[in-house]
Amino acid sequence: MNTRKTLAELKIGERAEIIGFTDALLSLKLLEMGCLPGSEIEMTHLAPFGDPLAIKVSGYTLTMRKDEAATIQINLLNN
């Protein structure tokens, strides 16, 4: 089974590891906000209508829109 996905496909409660980014401009912003490759993230909330979403990464909560989340490549972790 291929466990590689983007963050946008993650379901609430699922955890994953950040692999990389597909958007150069966004990746800088994400890095600066603490989303580093190798760090573990957990999908915690979806806003009504499924967008934006909130994730937990190294102890704090970040929000982003679905299209922004789709630029983050992840590796699903087994819970």
Partner 1 sequence: MSQRPKIALIGNPNAGKSSLFNSLTGLRQKTGNFPGVTMDKLSGIWEIEPGQEVEILDLPGIYSIYPKSLDEELVINILGNPANEDYPDMAIVVADASNLKRNLLLFSQVRDLGIPTVLALNMIDVAETEGYVINSIKLARELNVEVAEINAKKGIGINGLRLAVGKTLANRYASNDALPLPVDEQMLAGIQLKFGEADPYRSLLWLMEHDRLKMFSPEQRKAFDVIQHEFQFKSEEYKTSETVKRYEALSEVVERCVINLNRQWDAPPVKTWTDRLDSVFLHSVGGYLFFFLLLFVMFQAVFTWAAYPMDAIDAGVAYLNDWLKTVLPASALTGLLTDGLVAGIGGVLIFIPQIAFLFFFIAMLEETGYMSRVMFIMDKLMRRFGLNGKSVVPLISGVACAVPAIMSTRSIGSWKDRLITIMVTPLMSCSARLPIYTVLISLVVPEKSTLFGLFNLQGLALFGMYLLGFVMAIVSAWVMKQILQVKERSYFIMELPTYKAPRFKHMAISILNSVKAFVFEAGKIIVAISIVLWVLASYGPGDSMSQVDAQVRQANPTLSSAELSNRIASEKLENSYAGHFGHFIEPVIKPLGYDWKIGIALITSFAAREVFVGTMSTIYSLGGEVDDENATIKNRMRAEINPETGKPLYDAALGFSLLIFYAFAMQCMSTLATTYRETKSWKYPAIQFFYMTALAYLTAFITYQMLA
Residues that bind partner 1 (CB under 8 A): 24-34, 36, 44-52, 54, 58-65, 68
Least separation in angstroms between CB 14 and partner 1:
15
Least separation in angstroms between CB 30 and partner 1:
7
Least separation in angstroms between CB 8 and partner 1:
13
**In this structure, what DSSP letter does residue 10 have?**
P
Question: Which CB, 3 or 39, lies closer to partner 1?
Answer: 39
Longest dimension (CA), the chain: 32
- Do 49 and 78 meet the contact criterion of CB atoms below 8 Å apart? no
- Do 73 and 4 meet the contact criterion of CB atoms below 8 Å apart? yes
